Structure 1
Amino acid sequence: FEKRFGRTVSPFKAEVETTIPRQVGLSGSSAIETAFLLSLMAFHDLELDSISARELAELVLKIETEELGMVAGLQDRLPQSYGEMLHMDFDEKLMTKRGYGVYTALDAGKLPRLWVAHAHSGEDSGKTHSKIAKRWENQDPQMIEIIGHLRGCAHSGKKILTQEKKNGENLDVELENVKDLASLIDTNFDLRRELFGDTALGETLDAVKLARSLGSCAKQCGSGGSIFGLIPDGDFGAVAPQAFSEIGWQFCSNIEVAL
């Protein structure tokens, strides 16, 4: 902080409250660190526009990895810093050349209705990230192939959410596109399952299987302990809370995404 803003940090006391469940893959630690850094800026009379959203995300990641010794991915801090839904393209050539990718804002109002379910407790996602990071460093062929497919899923999802009618008027996501989006969500999880393996997924795999048995698509929110999907037609919303409760998970429906 002092190096980035050229300010000596004044004495302060910080108290943190959060409603984000702990260690279930919902980016809670990154959200706290991002909010803390913004609070520290306000405490020292620094304008929010003195740092771009991208630079803020990069600074938080640097604090996590270099100061706190955490193993972290690239994604979590970006939508938190931008404050909106993003398509994030971590193009290898761009990342090598300039250190960041292409981040495109998407209209969260076009999303179908969402649900989230999570375990009541989890474990440090860094354990999962560290193994994956090592495989990437070693250029594991299987991992490179899977990451390529995952990137394709993200691009296809972006295309669905940014479609326009022939007259140029924006579309809400229509029925056939909802089905395509649901298929991409399922494909994403299946690819991640192939990447991580069933043992690493643990009870998250059981939760995804449960959601699918009830007629919904499902994938991880992060590295484990929580999943989400699109609310399908039928009685899913009525039966899912009890079904997830029986495996010790909390179910939340009609999730609101920041616009």
Structure 2
Amino acid sequence: MKIAAVQMVSGPDPVVNLARARHWLEQAGRQGAELVALPEYFCLMGQADGDKLALAETPGDANAPIQRMLSQAAADLGLWLIGGTLPLRTPSAERVRNACCVYAPDGSQVARYDKIHLFRFDNGSESYDEGRVLEAGNEPVAVQAGPLRVALSVCYDLRFPELYRSLAPVDLISVPAAFTYVTGQAHWELLLRARAVENQAYVIAPAQGGLHQNGRRTWGHTMIIDPWGVVLGCLPEGEGLVLADVDAKRLGEVRRQLPALQHRRL
């Protein structure tokens, strides 16, 4: 099954961001991808954290612009679509969920995962605290996308291997992200390859990658990684696609040669 990861450099205008996302989904479809994943916050990289509150949609609203675009793109292009993340309303007017919605080739929503682990970072010169506007999810989610069992996660979740262990075995781990430049440079590839190796699964990691209009710089390096930890493709910076094949034979080969998943004791 051919899969594609989209890298973007999203800005504060959702209309522009949705158009760019649709463009890259179409390009992926033309290149034979059957499953495509968008990055975290593909729909908005705002000037302030609170911008997400104004853009937030009601869960399951088929007429809401972001959810409508994702559903229509999946149906029009006949794709399994891992829709990066979008802000979904909660009962609190001051908090949203950072949600990853998955759509089938008929346009139906088949899964939703809300980011569980909220990022906080302060190195003295830059700081982030997602908890100011985000409400954490609490439920690990895997979804069957055609022949693939896919574990859903978002960005900072990557640092918590127990999330993926709770869903094992899976064929593919999805990690849409907007890693900071500082943390990405140090840890992004290291963590992605570790998750692939320890779970003996492919990893698809679509990212934000570049200098955004709000002044933030994201690390990028969108990747697809095989179950032996081999990087099959990487886009360091800027908009574009990374494509690769998920090979069931390769998955089986790795798990037969080193049956680590069968050796688990904890």
TM-score by length of 2: 0.27
Structure showing the higher helix proportion among its residues: 1
Point out the structure with the larger strand share.
Answer: 2
- After TM superposition, the score normalised by the length of structure 1 is 0.28
Q: Which has the higher contact order (CA 8 A, sep 6+)?
A: 1
